[in-house]
Amino acid sequence: MILGYNPGNGLLHRAHPFTSLVLALAVVILAFGLPTPTGPLFLIGALAALALAARLPRVLVTAFVFALPFWVFLVLLHVVFGDAPTRAVTVGGQITAILLGFLLALVSVHPARLVDALLQRGISFSAAYLMAATLQSVPRLRDQARAILDAQRCRGLVVRGSPWRRVRAVVPLAIPLVLGALAEVDERAIALDARAATSPGRRTPLDPPIDSTAQRVVRWGLVVGPIAVVVTRLVS
């Protein structure tokens, strides 16, 4: 259920990587800046429409699955044992909107395109690589965990059954995952050192993403709009 970059030809896949990242940050500001409780719910609807337009329906399912435990907790806290249903709707809507925004950025931003875009703007290669590696970390760990689970099952490991049996299965799964992650970090550090990643000087990207005037206008709108919403609420 955890998503990684999803190649496709939808609306967000054709956008500049910075546009998707600015959208995620704008969602965070709007989630807390819009009037409650209707503002976060409206934001969820807008993001859901964007996800469908970008041909990313799985993002909706994943976001709602992750948000469901928070909704259950908030309903119990503010509705069942309290008297503030509006508070439950507000906080639940904010959490769901933020999850949708960041998942849309995660599945639509290709790490390699992000590195090229950052290098084009003069960002150091080490900083650009660190951001791209962060985006790749969860999907890569997911794939490694799945491979380790399949391998251990072939060796006779039983991961289902009683709670005690499930707890015992954690160690044979966790240790190879941690060791594999450490080995991968070491391999990447050697590869980056061999490519002089920390050496001074500006690198030239081979295939930087195209940044059109329309996308720059959209990004500025995503920056100015949320700030204007917050300022308007503060002064009103």
Q: What is the pLDDT of residues 42-99, one digit of tens each?
A: 999 999 999 888 888 888 888 898 899 999 999 998 888 888 889 999 999 999 999 9
Q: Label residues 86-98 b or e (16+ Cβ within 10 Å = b).
A: ebbbbbbbbbbbb
Phi, psi of 121 (to 5 degrees): -90, 5
pLDDT at 32: 92
HSE-up of residue 166 (Cα within 13 Å, Cβ side):
4
Tallying the residues shown for the chain, one arrives at 236
pLDDT at 202: 64
Residue 81 CA to residue 67 CA, distance in Å, equals 20
The pTM (predicted TM-score) of the whole model is 0.74
pLDDT at 110: 79
pLDDT at 1: 47
Q: What is the pLDDT of residues 211-225, one digit of tens each?
A: 888 888 999 999 999
Residue 45 CA to residue 12 CA, distance in Å, equals 17
pLDDT at 73: 92
Would you kindly state where each structural domain of the chain is located, as residue ranges?
A: 17-110+210-235, 123-194
> Residue 9: pLDDT band by 50, 70, 90 thresholds?
low
pLDDT at 2 exceeding the cut of 60: no
pLDDT at 173 exceeding the cut of 50: yes
